[in-house]
Amino acid sequence: MKIKLSYKFFIAFLLTSVISIVLMVVIMDFYLHKNFIGFINKMDMEILNELDNRLRIEYKTEQGWDRLRNNHRLWKKMLRAIHDSKEFDRPHPPPDFRRNGENRGKRKWRKPRGGPFRRIALFDAQKNRVVGNDAPLKHHQLQPIIVEGKTVGWLGMHKIKHLSRPREIEFLKQQTNVFYLIGGCILLMTALLAWWLSRHLLIPIQQLIKGTQALTSRQFNTKIKIHSNDELGQLADDFNMMAQTLEKYEIMRQQWLSDISHELRTPLSIMRGEIEAMQDAVREFNHEALDSLHFEVQRMSRLVDDLRELSLADTDTLSFKTEPINPLQILRETLKLFHTRLAQHHIFVEGHLQADSILQGDADRLSQLFSNLLENTLRYVDSPGTLKIGYEQTKNQLSLSFIDSGPGVPEESIGRLFDRLYRVEQSRNRAKGGSGLGLAICKNIVEMHGGEITATNVPSSGLWIKIVFPLLK
């Protein structure tokens, strides 16, 4: 049988409270009995103080305990005198009893016998019983009788282990009932509190359940509201952040699929049109037609390769070697490979890269980074043009700058320049042959090296791409 979480919370809180209250009542009841009996024994011991005075007088007068030894009548008389003076255990007479002679025909009221006086015993200096309670010595609480600085005897009060007097039993019973009443009230309040607390804890959990169900239905705009500063509030904030991230990635995924299908549709449409034209004999099957088809196939191959690299980078499975490398040396070698093509496009490179810097990274990936940037320059910089390459080096980082002669990028496009499949339609369009993934790959490579890449427009010039790498200490 499936039990709801609210019931589990309620049962857990209530069970914990019941166990705590029962333990509390049992412990309090135990200590009440124990301490109350101790209190009775302590109060009864006060009788011995008055008796001690009389016994010291008796000892001085008789020079010993001979007159009291086993003289129960004298012993009771002495105890009765103390009883009358202290009025210990004297109950109130019944309402129909009068000391002025009324109701003489009725039975005379008498004091009850017993009480603490029957538990008193007198022992000599050697702790031999003289008179009184005949229980063993070890069951008595002793008090010395001192005459002229010498212990001449012992007064003993037989310690009680159980209550026997009705008045004491009734008092203890009343206190126990009070404890049970208090425990019952606390239990009732605890049950109500457990019920409220279980519902209070379950409300945000129910909101999280509904929010999770909404996410599984692809409702990524779901938000939950929990106004608390505890762990549940933190969980709600994390859930909302997760939902926002999923919504963002869903938008990116849809845009990504749309862009990829668009990118693939264009070369496929061109290839299909040319093949159908050749099939219909509208166009001759010659080298020019093959070169056109080959160009579109290469374009599709580059797009598929770039997509694969981005996919590997997203899943952290892109091959990446870590070793000390000199980025300026790699940039110089890459420029040599592009020297002829840059010259053919009449793009002049300015820059002195003679210094050496060492960072931890992958030489092949850096070569790919610089190649993509130079390919962008060949595609989008107007001819004739210039590319200024500079660097600044500090103790901890290396900053590289690539500034072309234009045209620049519209300001509204700067923030999206490193997005996948994004193109600036005015100047960096599909006719230039790019896939829109080159700068996205550059960003991934720079971030794999722990660096940062940014793009800004330069007044009266073109695009400025800045790369910052951390250097080895």
Per-residue pLDDT tens, the chain, 473 aa: give them. Answer: 566 666 777 777 778 878 887 888 788 777 777 777 677 767 777 778 778 888 888 888 888 898 989 888 889 888 888 777 654 444 444 444 344 444 444 444 344 344 677 888 999 999 999 998 888 888 888 889 999 889 999 998 887 766 666 776 777 778 778 877 887 888 888 888 878 877 777 777 888 888 888 888 888 888 888 777 777 788 888 888 898 888 888 887 787 777 777 777 877 888 888 888 888 888 888 888 888 888 888 878 877 887 777 777 766 666 778 899 999 999 999 999 999 989 999 999 998 887 788 898 999 889 989 998 998 899 889 889 999 999 999 888 999 999 998 788 888 888 888 887 776 654 444 445 556 678 888 898 999 899 999 999 988 778 999 999 998 86
Neighbouring-strand partners of residue 90? none
pLDDT at residue 317 in the model: 67
Q: Which two tokens stand for residue 216?
A: 């599984």
pLDDT at residue 430 in the model: 47
Neighbouring-strand partners of residue 392? 399
> Is the CB of residue 349 less than 8 Å from the CB of residue 401?
no
Residues 472, 366, 402, 312, CA torsion sign: negative
Place of tokens 């012992």: 154
Q: Which two tokens stand for residue 97?
A: 């009893």
Return the CATH number of 231-313, one of 1.10.10.10, 3.30.930.10, 1.10.287.130, 3.40.50.2300: 1.10.287.130
> Is the CB of residue 406 less than 8 Å from the CB of residue 461?
yes
pLDDT at residue 169 in the model: 73
| Domain spans in the chain, listed from the N-terminal domain onward | 5-101+110-168, 231-313, 319-470
β-strand pairing of 397-404 with 359-361: unpaired
Q: Which two tokens stand for residue 114?
A: 């017993």
pLDDT at residue 349 in the model: 92
pLDDT at residue 31 in the model: 74
Instruction: Quote the CA–CA distance of 350 and 363 in Å, as a whole number.
Output: 23
Residues 8, 12, 16, CA angle at the centre, nearest 5°?
170
β-strand pairing of 150-158 with 120-124: antiparallel
The answer to whether domain 231-313 and domain 319-470 are alike in fold is no
- Would you tell me how many other CB atoms lie within 10 Å of the CB of residue 406? 18
pLDDT at residue 326 in the model: 92
Q: Which of 213, 219, 212 is nearest to 238 (CA)?
A: 212
β-strand pairing of 120-124 with 129-132: antiparallel
> Is the CB of residue 130 less than 8 Å from the CB of residue 123?
yes
Instruction: Quote the CA–CA distance of 114 and 89 in Å, as a whole number.
Output: 9
Check whether the bond before 407 is cis (ω within 30° of 0).
yes
pLDDT at residue 354 in the model: 79
- State the fold for domain 319-470: Heat Shock Protein 90 (3.30.565)
Place of tokens 């899943």: 315
* Packing angle of the helix pair 327-344, 363-380 (nearest 10 deg): 30
Residues 266, 272, 273, CA angle at the centre, nearest 5°?
90
Which residues, other chains included, contact 197 with Cβ-Cβ below 8 Å and sequence gap of 6+?
Answer: 9, 13
Place of tokens 């009449």: 346
